[in-house]
Structure 1
Amino acid sequence: MIAAPPRPEAFAALATTRPAPAGASFLRHGAHARRMLLLKALLVRVRRHRADVAPEILRGFRTAWRLLETAERAAPASARAVLDYPTTGAWLAAALTEPLGPAFDRHLTRLELVAVTAALRAGRPLDLEVGAPGGVLSLPGVGSVLVNPEGAADAGPVPGSGAGPYAARGTHAHAHPARDAHPGAYTDAHPDPSPDRTPGGNPNPTPSGPTVDPTPTVDPTPTVNPTATPTPTVHLTSRSHVVRVRADSAPGATVALLRREDARTGAVAGTGPGWRGLRALPGGAARLEDLDPYRVPPGGVGTPARVAAERPDVDHATWAGHWRAAGELLRRTDRERAAEVGHTVGALVPLRPQGPRSVGATLSVAPGAVLMTPSAGPYDMAETLVHELHHSKLSTLHELVPLYRPGRAALYRVGWRTDARPVAGVFQGAYAHLALADLWRRARDAPGVPGAWSARAVQQFDHVHDQVGEALAMLLESDELTNEGREFARQMRQLHASLGASPTARG
């Protein structure tokens, strides 16, 4: 997807990794435009291949589309929040890359849940039946309703294992042991322009061109068995602004009651035996996302693969404590970076740990989500959040304004990896490590930061500064960069030069 380039001041701010309103606005609006483009691409695909979609699935998809349009007209901001939620992007990528058949049909049922969530947040009345894949009514960014709460596990099947109802294909991640960068992969869509209206978006979006990572790091996992257990049906009915959820499996029994709590924010609350709400992280709008079946790709992320941690294994108090302490550490060190993390990270996704090292990851199709194993403490979490946020920023920017050309075979050696990397990996790693170098440089001199954090920052800066400089030299000598990518790398080098070397490194 090629967008109009950002204004020079926004481009410069993004290149230097520094938070800036103009750069953030460009990425936010660009990511939303791409999300609407993918949603439109799904509509076009369904219309073209409607004869291959089960009739009941097609009816549900059409009903959901109309409901989504109604919710968007009533409360545009609330509908946009649902459409822009990270797992909505992961779902669209999975649906658009799934071959036609039963697995594709199962992906299509997710639109019903997206539309229901938008309607709930908009305060719209509901009276309809929807499917609950895997016995779970998953409401993106809000929570889940278990259709059979007495007989179900707290969070259902492990999504990251490929055993859940939405086993995705072709959605890749980059993951790394703490601060070892790795390129993301970009999911292609080739939508056909159509005059039909897309909820929340441009009625005539421009199709994107291919943006493919030449070395994806997570192999697609086969979809679930087409003969899987039939999807349960649930009934949602409104009365006095309360939505009652009933299941076919328990006629007359209410498994959850849902209502909009705040008309301004569209916040939704629930009660009942089947209700599992997402839990907040302190100090902002971020949620600990341990419920959504699309939160981690099938097969997990990284090597060895880390899969999604399930709710019974996620200690909310520990995660919230580390989040709070990491936020305070960032505020003392760099208030602008702290604000950027707070405004940009909407979902923190726990991964099941494997080994002693902390691992962070992002999905290029799901900006706003950071995936990570339990951190060693606030220092580790603060660094991981900044590092992963910059992977996500660069992925989004590259999708809007290509920085390098796809499909080239050249490999490069960088200091933070033991294996050779393509230009995408060098760019990603240099950018994320440059942001950390800037953070660590500020931590050295920031008043009021813990002494251990300051000492750690000096040590880490010394380790990374030269490595980033070498990587930037490789990028600027490469013929794989676009004109915009070369200018971006030049401005990255300006920040790198301004950081200098620490007194320890100078001897």
Structure 2
Amino acid sequence: MVDFTELAHGTGGAPVVHRLRKTERSRRLLLLRAVTDIAAKKSDLPGPLPDPEQAWELLSRVQGVAPDALDLVLAHPYTGSWLGYTSRLLHRQIAGVCPLWVHVGHIHAIAAAAAIRAKLSFSTEIPVWSGNAALPGLGVAKLGGDELHSVAKVRCDRSRREIRGETSAVELPTDLSSDAPGWWGVRQVTLRAAAKTLTLRLDDVDPYRGSYDPILPQRLPAAEVREWAVLLDEAWQLITRCLPQEAEALQAGFDSVVPRALMPFRTSSASSGEAFGSAIVARPTDPATLAAMLIHEFHHNRLSGLLHLVCLHTDDPAERFYTPWRDDPRPLGGVFQGVYAFFGVAAFWRALTRDDGYQLRLLAEFEFAYWRAATWRVLRVLQNDPELTDDGRLFLGGVADLVGSWQQEEVSAVVAAAAAAAATDHYAGWRLRHLRPDPAAVVALADAWCSGKTRPPLGRIEDGLPTPVPDGRWRHARLDLVRLAITDHRRLARSWSTVPDATPADFAYADGRIPAAVQGYLAELAEDPESPAAWAGLGLALAKSDAAAGHALLRCPELVRAVHRAVRARGVPCPPDRLSAWIGWLDAGGQPGE
């Protein structure tokens, strides 16, 4: 119960993480045995490879002479993702990206990797995919060949370690983390800050490192590895300085990053509930953003580990929740994960606002203000959901204790206003794309507008359930530009056009030129009257000069656009700003997240 409470309060440090990793080891060992047993009952599952029982026997040998080597392969994040993926295939009796025997046969690659670590003499066979023979946690042999799927023999003794395919062979180097002819090792970076050291793998070769399906090796150029090393080291400095207990937790349980290409003005990361200790990260441009991404994903890791022990909610698949961190409606499980992950993000930026060594204080304040409000907004809805278990409510209560206490902490007025507007912007865009207004209300309003009448009373407008099918495309340029303006307003004029999807109207809004922004969004809507981003942008801009118009566009933007669409179809003039002011103050239903 102590561990449960510590995790709920974001203080699950190294001891808690060690215990989570032990439970993950036990779970994976059970799944490994289950895969072996299923394969033993179906003679066709091993394909051209040996029976998985032989891999189990090799793992038993490793356990006898070098149990630490077995622990390393069981703790390897992608042993977990392989087990989850392959177990689902076996349960559904379907093939995956590769033939089923390739996925089942990966157990031989795991056993071979463990035996190499244990320095055993052995011989076995492993699957080959497009010429790649992977040894999890160690690297991949590049065997080539024309066959999409084939078999390679791994032979190790005191004098030689070799992987031999149908047409070529690769001798493994002494240092398996380095590259050699025909061999790509798993690179490592060691991060040091004060007395805290963290060694991470930059894994670009393991076939089960992806979020969903297996993927082939995608070798990172050496120059990018150096960029990653510098950025990770700087991020580690920030984490150890601002959240020392989080740093200790990362030391205990986080060991692998799957690198993706640089994405200016974007943050993209992911993790799997089965790959404890790993994150897939698109390289950001600054260390603070990377630090927040690592903390975000490790919060997912820890919650996933807890969910393997405790049921916190039912398996409700309905996509019914609004979340400020996603553009689509989300199911219960995803929202629960998101709340906990962004709780960690808000905690990091909060700590960074108090760090005298961090230069971009206003940016840290903005991120803290934005993510504390986002997490709190969704948390208040989630806490009352009937699909939570008693343990789930108790857990979220612990999160709420902290997140709720942060809501009144002071940030600068300019930053607070910018964060609130950014949140309003995203929610208006979500409503435009995923809520459908009452058709009767649309017709009544369109009839009144076309007849030149005042807006008829509609009473309280209740929101229906969201649809996962979006009505239009969203763009994130305004949020990017606001961050840019807060970080360095002088840079905004020079760089706004490099922000993906940014328009002159977005630039005017971020630059504080509100009349120009209004005219810019009206021009955009004249060209594309369906654009969700232009409607939401117009609402933000009008809210500063025409409260009634802004209210309509930000509270019920989907209704305003639908009426505009209906009136337009009748050939009647309908300027968006005038229509919004005419609709004015509506009594909208309770917004999700409020």
Pairwise same-fold verdict (TM > 0.5) = yes
* 2:406 counterpart of 1:499: yes
Q: In structure 1, give the amino acid aligned to 2:138.
A: V
Question: Which residue in 2 is equivalent to 1:68?
Answer: 59
User: Residue 157 of structure 2: SS of its match in structure 1?
Assistant: strand
Q: Which residue of the other structure, out of 71, 76, 79, is the alignment partner of 2:70?
A: 79
* 2:175 counterpart of 1:256: no
CA distance in 1, matches of 2:129, 2:214: 20
Q: Deviations over 1:28-72 (max 9, x none)?
A: 12222221221122012112223x335642x34232221111012
Q: Per the alignment, do residues 295 and 417 of structure 1 end up closer, same or farther by CA in structure 2, a change over 3 Å counting?
A: closer
Equivalent pairs, count? 403
Task: Report if aligned partners of 1:9, 1:22 keep a CA contact under 8 Å in 2.
Answer: no
CA distance in 2, matches of 1:364, 1:314: 31
Q: Per the alignment, do residues 34 and 434 of structure 1 end up closer, same or farther by CA in structure 2, a change over 3 Å counting?
A: same
**Aligned-residue offset at 1:355:** 7.5
CA distance in 1, matches of 2:106, 2:45: 14
**Aligned-residue offset at 1:272:** 4.2
Question: Which residue in 1 is equivalent to 2:272?
Answer: 363
Question: Which residue in 1 is equivalent to 2:129?
Answer: 133
**Aligned-residue offset at 1:76:** 1.2
CA distance in 2, matches of 1:442, 1:297: 30
Structure 1, unpaired ranges of 5+ = 1-7, 153-227, 262-267, 302-306
CA distance in 1, matches of 2:178, 2:329: 49
Q: How does 1:6-405 map to 2 (within 5 A)?
A: 8-50=1-43, 52-53=44-45, 56-57=48-49, 59-98=50-89, 99=93, 103-148=99-144, 229-240=148-159, 242-250=160-168, 255-259=170-174, 268=176, 272-283=180-191, 284-297=198-211, 309-312=218-221, 315-352=224-261, 356-405=265-314
Point out 4+ residue stretches in structure 1 off by more than 6 angstroms: none
**Aligned-residue offset at 1:483:** 1.0
Q: Per the alignment, do residues 299 and 22 of structure 1 end up closer, same or farther by CA in structure 2, a change over 3 Å counting?
A: closer
Q: Per the alignment, do residues 54 and 378 of structure 1 end up closer, same or farther by CA in structure 2, a change over 3 Å counting?
A: closer
Higher relative contact order (CA 8 A, sep 6+): 1
**Aligned-residue offset at 1:414:** 3.0
Q: Per the alignment, do residues 248 and 343 of structure 1 end up closer, same or farther by CA in structure 2, a change over 3 Å counting?
A: same
User: Residue 140 of structure 2: SS of its match in structure 1?
Assistant: strand
Q: Per the alignment, do residues 28 and 129 of structure 1 end up closer, same or farther by CA in structure 2, a change over 3 Å counting?
A: closer
- Say what the alpha-carbon RMSD is for the aligned residues: 2.8
CA distance in 2, matches of 1:112, 1:347: 22
CA distance in 1, matches of 2:161, 2:72: 20
Q: Which residue of the other structure, out of 334, 341, 351, is the alignment partner of 1:425?
A: 334
Q: Deviations over 1:347-378 (max 9, x none)?
A: 10023567851200001121111001121221
Q: In structure 1, give the amino acid aligned to 2:307.
A: H
My pick for the range that moved more, 485-494 or 82-91, is 82-91
Question: Which residue in 2 is equivalent to 1:466?
Answer: 373
Q: How does 1:437-456 map to 2 (within 5 A)?
A: 437-447=346-356, 449-452=357-360, 454-456=361-363
After TM superposition, the score normalised by the length of structure 2 is 0.63
After TM superposition, the score normalised by the length of structure 1 is 0.73
**Aligned-residue offset at 1:103:** 1.2
CA distance in 1, matches of 2:177, 2:365: 45
Q: Deviations over 1:112-156 (max 9, x none)?
A: 1111110111121124444433322211111112224xx89xxxx
User: Residue 338 of structure 1: SS of its match in structure 2?
Assistant: helix
Structure 2, unpaired ranges of 5+ = 192-197, 417-594
* Structure with larger Rg: 2
Q: In structure 2, give the amino acid aligned to 1:143.
A: G
Q: In structure 1, give the amino acid aligned to 2:68.
A: A
Task: Report if aligned partners of 1:132, 1:138 keep a CA contact under 8 Å in 2.
Answer: yes
